[in-house]
Structure 1
Amino acid sequence: MTNATADRAAELRDKLADELISAGHITAAQVEAAFRVVPRHAFVPDGTPMEATYNADESVAIKKDERGVLISSTSAPFLQARMIEQAGIQPGMNVLEYGSGGYNAALLAEIVGPGGRVVSVDIDQDVTDRASAALKATGYGNRVRVILADAEHGVPDLGLFDAIIVTVGAWDIPPAWLDQLAGDGVLVVPLRMNGVTRSIAFHREADHLVSDSAEVCGFVAMQGEGEHIDQIFRLPDAHGHHIDLQFDNGAPENPGLLNDVLATGRTDVWSGITIANGVSFADLHLWFVSFLPGFCRVAAEQGTDLAGERGTWFPFGVVRGDSFAYLAIRPAAEGAGFEFGARAYGSHGQEAATAMVEQIQAWDHSARSGPAPTIAFWPTGTAPQIPDRAAVLAKAHGLVTISWPAMS
């Protein structure tokens, strides 16, 4: 690397740290110091533009499978910063990372210092080999232990960890993770809940886990024995294009009823609920997960009518028998931002759209201005205490509850 390139990288690291602080993603001095020191560009593929590498909101692809599906990436810096802060990483801590890329492990090593320990685990040998080489080249080879293993089974014989940070999308929480988490430790995991993912910081409370915080995020899905395959139904339109309905669970028993649904007329139902430009409504997605039976994710292929409605719909839907609806917006009256609604296809489209709109109205009335929901994980074998106003999601290793506080 030339002196000019090294100087440019240092300049971009400082700029990135400044942006993350300004946006509130970094609040701890030790996290700031790590971002100013660790050379992110040394952990991404050769040829990645420096400006893209140090873009606060941009992840960098590391590896794709034979179908071109992304299976490993270096997460966006803002999300790495938030997850490290969610975990409360401090000097001297023992930290376990599931999902290796090298860069995040180097950040952790900077923070825990010589008195701490960082172990990074991945199921893909290409990924672990690449991470090990990059860590060695940047001076972190002796400060991070990289292990090839399936996260579902943990890493036995390494003792307990003060923090476990998972950097792949997990559908469940394996018992091995709880076995290796110290009694007062923190587990930070991007947990998939009916197709909606949140990076959740969990602490132990008696025999279960309770959330301290939850951040909007998206991650490459976990591989190996912990992989969860969603059910996807492809709906053809009249032009040979498709819309995909993706179910984490709760898929319709007779999806054939939807085969010709896109040939029917569209029905619109509007809620009267508005939102200002630029305001997050991420909790509405969790509300749908909690209280909207038949909830699914929606993806539209280019050439479909939905793809042509760019900017006016979101990838969340609901199925009712032979019909489905999806979340949509339209400009509100008198420049008051946008109004939420639902657009639907099928002979019972009005029913599907109304079901979604009723939950938009319920969210606005009961949760929109209130505290965030509490998310808990109850391992198999425990006796879950299900709070009022809580959704219950079944997992292979236990139950997830999403509890919505009553508004005062």
Structure 2
Amino acid sequence: MSTLADSIGRSLPDRDEAPRVAMVEALRAAGSVRSAAVAEALLAVPRHVFAPEAALAEAYEPERALVTKRNEYGLAVSSVSAARIQAQMLEQADVRPGMRVLEVGSGGYNAALIAELVGPAGEVVTVDIDPFVTERAEKYLAEAGYERVRVVLADGSGQVEGGPFDRIVVTVGAWDLPPAWTGALVEGGTITVPLRMHGLTRSITFRREGERLVSVSATVSGFVKIQGADAHDEFLVLPRGTKEVGLRFDELERPDTSRLGGVLETPRAEWWSGVTIANQEPFDSLYLWLASSLPGFGLMSVDPELDTKTVAPANRMACPVIVEGDSLAYLALRRISEDPAEFEFGAHGFGPEGGPLAALINTEVRKWDREHRTGDGPVFTAQPIGIPNDQLPDGLVIDKTHVRLTISWP
């Protein structure tokens, strides 16, 4: 089997850099690192310098995000993202030597990786709204030898000097696509952004085609939320009046939830689809399909400390749910065999129309299984908010503040 050194044509670093080498080897084995350029960048940049609070071994764990700041509620508002996520985004972004690149959401480490990718002939600008973040970034970039990266304190949703850019890499979770981002791209340039749609985040690389953005790739992702003018909070509903069960709706157009009081005190209807899945088999495209095809879509979460087992969603942190009037239904799973472990998709419904809503979820689960389970996934198209319907591609249209986003399945 070829080694990392063989694949990138470079000798391995000294023994004191072994954690860095091990991280890159693990990322390559997992498929997160596919190119020699990204592997070389990850080997070159000392990740631990940008998170001195973390132990050396922790800094190089591929799945570990290194939190650098929390808000008054203890929630992370700034971090050095997991190396796997950063590697995947850089592979998506396809940053090349000599390019001019804007990073939105600083921290320093990812900007240093981009600087390695663009080389001495390229330019890197990184912007963040938080002076705590930009001061850290400037300090640690200098310590690591990347003083040529320009750090800007500003709201990354606005215009940033230094463009136009060949690539924009957004390292915060965005709900919308501000016009300043599209305007800062050269024609044919790309923006890679973790974009939230109905509460589901996908890291999408869009290519600029005139005034519209068209996706060229998308992967599951997650980042701390963007701050500033384009920050967006989800709408939370507590149908039992406590935090035991929460329903979250993320778009401007959302269902009427005013009649859900007492809905979870009604009998539970259970419907099963006949669609099965093996243990550890991914099914993230199912969530996006349900969000694209079901009206009244949101996400259900259950607080484990308050859980009375009234509901049993497929995922207690974020499970598809649909609401209509005084009824709701959510995606469910049940184990149907032990060895090997196998599960069946279904749905649970509550309220007068809970049964039909559960049946509707199962109909879409079966359609996903027939038509989209093994496919390439949808194409995402973003166009300015004023574009008329007859100029939009077919698919689900989500109206954000700045763009009309269309999700088009093949």
TM over 0.5: yes
2:150 equivalent in structure 1: 145
1:88 equivalent in structure 2: 94
Three-state SS of the structure 2 residue aligned to 1:224 is coil
Does residue 339 (structure 1) correspond to residue 344 (structure 2)? The answer is yes
8 A contact 1:312–1:330 mirrored in 2: no
Q: Which runs of 4+ in 1 moved over 6 A?
A: none
8 A contact 2:176–2:401 mirrored in 1: yes
Q: Tell me: CA distance 1:282–1:13, structure 2 relative to 1, closer, same or farther (3 Å).
A: same
Q: Measure, in 1, the Cα distance between the counterparts of 2:15 and 2:108.
A: 21
Q: Measure, in 2, the Cα distance between the counterparts of 1:243 and 1:311.
A: 14
The amino acid that maps onto 1:15 is A
Three-state SS of the structure 1 residue aligned to 2:63 is coil
8 A contact 1:330–1:338 mirrored in 2: yes
Q: Measure, in 2, the Cα distance between the counterparts of 1:54 and 1:310.
A: 34
1:258 equivalent in structure 2: 260
Find the partner of 2:324 among 314, 320, 338. 320
CA shift for structure 1 position 365: 2.1
8 A contact 2:62–2:82 mirrored in 1: yes
Greater alpha carbon shift after TM alignment, 81-90 vs 52-61: 52-61
Q: Measure, in 2, the Cα distance between the counterparts of 1:347 and 1:45.
A: 56
User: TM-score, normalising length from structure 2?
Assistant: 0.90
Sequence identity, in percent? 45
Does residue 170 (structure 1) correspond to residue 174 (structure 2)? The answer is yes
User: TM-score, normalising length from structure 1?
Assistant: 0.91
8 A contact 1:210–1:375 mirrored in 2: yes
The amino acid that maps onto 1:224 is G
Q: Tell me: CA distance 1:373–1:22, structure 2 relative to 1, closer, same or farther (3 Å).
A: same
Does residue 40 (structure 1) correspond to residue 47 (structure 2)? The answer is yes
8 A contact 2:187–2:209 mirrored in 1: no
Q: Measure, in 2, the Cα distance between the counterparts of 1:53 and 1:381.
A: 45
The amino acid that maps onto 1:160 is P
Does residue 372 (structure 1) correspond to residue 377 (structure 2)? The answer is yes
How many equivalent residue pairs? 393
1:19 equivalent in structure 2: 26
Three-state SS of the structure 2 residue aligned to 1:225 is coil
Three-state SS of the structure 1 residue aligned to 2:191 is strand
Give structure 1 stretches of 5+ with no counterpart.
1-5
CA shift for structure 1 position 168: 0.7
2:9 equivalent in structure 1: none
8 A contact 1:122–1:147 mirrored in 2: yes
Q: Measure, in 1, the Cα distance between the counterparts of 2:220 and 2:16.
A: 28
CA-atom RMSD in angstroms: 2.1
Three-state SS of the structure 2 residue aligned to 1:179 is helix
Does residue 267 (structure 1) correspond to residue 274 (structure 2)? The answer is no
Find the partner of 1:227 among 228, 231, 240. 231
Q: Measure, in 2, the Cα distance between the counterparts of 1:107 and 1:55.
A: 17
Does residue 295 (structure 1) correspond to residue 306 (structure 2)? The answer is no
Q: Measure, in 2, the Cα distance between the counterparts of 1:285 and 1:222.
A: 23
Q: Measure, in 2, the Cα distance between the counterparts of 1:33 and 1:55.
A: 17
Give structure 2 stretches of 5+ with no counterpart.
1-12
Three-state SS of the structure 1 residue aligned to 2:255 is coil
- Pairwise mapping of residues 7-406 of structure 1 onto structure 2 (< 5 A)? 10-46=17-53, 48-140=54-146, 142-155=147-160, 157-236=161-240, 241-249=243-251, 250-253=253-256, 255-301=257-303, 302-306=305-309, 315-333=319-337, 335=340, 337-382=342-387, 385-388=391-394, 390-405=395-410
CA shift for structure 1 position 306: 4.7
1:296-337 Cα shifts (integer Å, max 9, x gaps): 111111221359959765522111222222222112358462
Q: Measure, in 2, the Cα distance between the counterparts of 1:41 and 1:271.
A: 48
Q: Measure, in 2, the Cα distance between the counterparts of 1:363 and 1:181.
A: 35
Q: Measure, in 2, the Cα distance between the counterparts of 1:195 and 1:215.
A: 15
